[in-house]
Chain A
Amino acid sequence: MANIEISDLSMSYQKGKQILDQLSLNIKDGELLSILGPSGCGKTTMLRLISGLIPIQKGTIKVSGKDISKVPVYKRNFGMVFQSYALFPHMTIFQNITFGLKRRKLDKKTIEQKALNILDITGLSNLKDRMPHELSGGQQQRVSLARALAINPNVLLLDEPLSNLDAKLRIEMREEIHRLQQKLDMTTIFVTHDQEECFAISDRVALMNQGQIEQLDTPQNIYKNPRTEFVARFIGYENFIPKTWAEDQQWQFHKEITGKLLTIRPENIGIGTGENTLLGKVVSKNFLGNYYQYIVDTELGILKVNTTKDQSETNAEITLNFPESSLIELEDK
């Protein structure tokens, strides 16, 4: 088991494009940390630097206090699950799992026992003599996970492991990853662009943008208190209110952060009079199962309002209120 300290990690390609910019991050022993961000934010590069698949240009990575920056990939003893599963096509499932064990100085019996044990806890025992191409995507990814865990790695690295699976399998597989990670108390880094799957299983989330971490926090805190406009937009905030405008209107909100924007979730905007009101006109009303969504044209542009009650019709005038406690202040970046 291991904790990871990443400090001042920078990476740029030859053409001068900065992929990672002095990034620092500590991952606790046994923690499941997600790296979340849009494509091109540097999250995969970061994982590949940690894994050793690409060499470090600047900065250090320490695992349990030891600098591993110069340790070659095959000596790091990290487990990795790839987006494309990357099973060895010419080996059976059993051989895939024992391949790494054979490299270690273990006798045949121990290898077999360890492999059978891993097959058992990942629920793959009945597939052990099959070839990878005979398995479904979900099964292949399970084997990939088993293969990574078989070598008893210090750290488990997951590179978008769910993005090739269909929706139902994705949920099943993420629960499986979570279960095994908890059971083995394995320090895990999970790279993804999907906020839902990341929020569901992570202890902490590092939300990345342009080679830097925008916010590092628990999923709840990121959801409830996005720090910047980028974070807010990425996790689904759509209503933004300029602070100077709110001050002109004499709205009440906490003035703790020096930024230019306020935001509020669509379900927190009230309909009817209350604190901090604004007039608007309903442009359209959409029924979305659990709630209605009103698209409202206001002085501030289009706002989205979600409500469980059917309260207004298209083209009607509407008064919106913005409770002080729900208005979130954002920092400038």
Chain B
Amino acid sequence: MRTKIKFSSVVGCLVLVILVVPLLIVIVTSFGEESAISFPIKGFTFEWYANVFQQPDFVEGLKMSSIVAILASFLALLVGIPIVYVLTRFDIHHKDWFQTIFLSPALIPEIVIGFALYQALVISLQLPLFISLIVGHFLLCLPYVVRLITAGMMEFDESIEEAAWMVGYDKITTFFKVVIPNIKQSVVAAFILSFITSFNNIPISLFLNGPDLNMLPTSILNYLENNYDPTVSAVSVILMIITASIMILAEKYLGLNKLT
């Protein structure tokens, strides 16, 4: 028993080190004065952080990534919640079938989804890039919504809905007045997870970006191809801060266990 605890704590520490040390190095390099990323650093400056905000690609990318993440997450909730409600509360044929279909985007390699959407929506149907991008990110988010809301609905006793019908509320009003308030945590958790997934996505955005459509992660990738200065470290730190603050907020209001 004791050796087991020792073993798992050693592995745990190792994972933490492998995970955290590179991140720490990125953070440190973002303050270096030299124009190429190097470690250990010489001098100390905030110049690269200032530079992040002078790069239109980064600023626009941050804006676009946020807009897309918010829209796609909302859309996924709007479509996902009713789907889950029907799947968990109604007796329909081939239920597991549908379940698999709605979870399938998570099983298909994202790069394939990106390419397929590019072919279908942009080339064949000539849809605007922005719409295609939203569709792509919506597909990315849907499985998270379906999974988290399903878990929330499973925990929610069906009799509570029935009790609302019994005292005089029709099914739709009951859905908004009783079901939604009680799965609120799952809804918020699904939104946060969707947002982060969309915000950090590269493969889908890579296929569906264009001259006026730069997402932050793809912008970073583009920037790296031509420059290797600590601006990339700085923007990575900013990304980390954004993601971490969302997680901390989620932890504070929901408890992180809801997210996994």
- Please list the residues of chain A having a beta carbon within 8 angstroms of any beta carbon in chain B: 51-53, 72-75, 77-80, 82-84, 86-90, 99-100, 103-104, 144, 147-148, 150-151
Once the chains are docked, how many angstroms separate the CA of A77 from the CA of B169? Answer: 11
Cβ contacts under 8 Å, B171 to chain A: 74
In the complex, which of the residues B163, B178, B182 contacts A80, with contact meaning CB atoms closer than 8 Å? B163
Q: Which residue of A lies closest to B156 (CB)?
A: A89
Chain B residues closer than 8 Å to A78, beta-carbon distance? 166
Main DSSP-derived SS at the B contact region: helix
Contact of B170 among A74, A79, A147 (CB under 8 A): A74
Cβ B162 vs Cβ A151 within 8 A: no
Name the residue in B165, B166, B170, B178 with the highest tally of chain A Cβ atoms < 10 Å from its Cβ. B166
Among B160, B169, B181, point to the contact of A86 (Cβ < 8 A).
B160
Q: A77, B168: Cβ atoms under 8 Å?
A: yes
Q: Contact between A73 and B166 (Cβ–Cβ < 8 Å)?
A: yes
Contacts of B169 in A (CB 8 A): 74, 99, 103
* Sample of 10 more A-B contacts, CB < 8 Å, known A79-B167, A80-B163: A78-B166, A86-B157, A86-B159, A86-B160, A87-B160, A89-B160, A144-B163, A147-B163, A148-B166, A148-B167
Verify B164–A99 contact, CB threshold 8 A.
yes
Number of interchain pairs (Cβ within 8 Å): 64
Give every chain B residue within 8 A of A147 (Cβ-Cβ).
163, 167
Binary contact readout B151-187 vs A (1 if CB under 8 angstroms, 0 otherwise): 0000001011011111111110000001001100000
Bound together, the chains give a CA A30 to CA B160 distance in angstroms of 27
Contact in complex: A74, B168 (CB < 8 Å)? yes
The B119-177 residues at the A interface (CB cut-off 8 A) are 157, 159-160, 162-171
Shortest distance between the CB of B156 and any CB in chain A (Å): 9
B residues with CB within 8 A of A: 157, 159-160, 162-171, 178, 181-182
17 of the cross-chain contacts (CB-CB < 8 Å) are A52-B165, A53-B166, A72-B170, A73-B165, A74-B170, A77-B168, A80-B162, A84-B159, A86-B157, A88-B164, A99-B164, A99-B169, A100-B167, A100-B168, A103-B168, A147-B167, A151-B167
Please determine whether B170 and A86 come into contact, CB atoms closer than 8 angstroms: no
Q: Is the CB of A84 within 8 A of B168?
A: no
**Is the pair B159, A79 in contact by a Cβ cutoff of 8 Å?**
no
Q: Could you tell me if A84 and B157 are in contact, using CB atoms closer than 8 angstroms?
A: yes
User: Which residue from A52, A86, A103 sits with its C-beta under 8 Å from B163?
Assistant: A86
Of chain B, the residue at the smallest CB distance from A72 is: B170
Q: Which residues of B contact A86 (CB under 8 A)?
A: 157, 159-160, 162-163
Chain B, Cβ-Cβ closest to A78: B166
In the complex, chain B residues whose CB is within 8 Å of the CB of A84: 157, 159
Write out the residue numbers on chain B whose beta carbons fall within 8 Å of the beta carbon of A103: 167-169
Q: Which residues on the A side are within 8 Å of B167 (C-beta)?
A: 79, 99-100, 103, 147-148, 150-151
A74-B168, A103-B167, A151-B168 known; A90+B157 contact, CB < 8 A: no
A80/B160 in contact, CB under 8 A: no
CB nearest to B166 among chain A residues: A80
Interchain CB contact under 8 A, B166 and A89: no
Q: Quick one: closest A residue to B160, CB to CB?
A: A86
Instruction: From A53, A73, A88, A100, give the contact of B160 (CB < 8 A).
Output: A88
Collect the chain B residues with CB atoms within 8 Å of residue A148's CB: 166-167
Chain B positions within 8 Å of A77 at CB level: 168
The 9 closest A-B pairs by CB, nearest first: A100-B167, A86-B159, A103-B168, A86-B163, A82-B159, A80-B166, A90-B181, A73-B165, A86-B160
Q: Please, how many angstroms separate the alpha-carbon atoms of A72 and B171 in the complex?
A: 10
Please state if A74 and B165 are interface contacts (CB–CB under 8 Å): yes
Residues of A within 8 A of B181 (CB): 90
- Closest-by-CB residue of A relative to B171 is A74
Q: Does the CB pair B182–A89 fall under 8 Å?
A: yes
Given A90-B181, A90-B182: A79 and B160 interface contact (C-beta under 8 Å) = no
Bound CA span A78–B167, Å: 7
Q: How far is the CB of A154 from chain B (nearest CB, A)?
A: 12
For residue B165, give the distance in angstroms from its CB to the closest CB of chain A.
Answer: 5
Report Cα–Cα, A144/B162, bound state, in Å. 13
Chain B neighbourhood of A144, CB < 8 A: 163
Q: How far is the CB of A266 from chain B (nearest CB, A)?
A: 40
Nearest-neighbour CB distance to chain A for B15, whole angstroms, equals: 37
Q: Which residues of B contact A74 (CB under 8 A)?
A: 165-166, 168-171
Using CB atoms, name the residue of chain B closest to A103: B168
Q: Which residues of B contact A53 (CB under 8 A)?
A: 162, 165-166
B80: min CB distance to chain A, Å: 21
Q: What residues of B have a CB within 8 angstroms of the CB of A88 in the complex?
A: 160, 163-164, 178, 182
A73 CA to B171 CA, complexed, in Å: 10
Most buried by A among B159, B163, B178, B181: B163
The CA of A58 and the CA of B157, in the complex, are separated in Å by 29
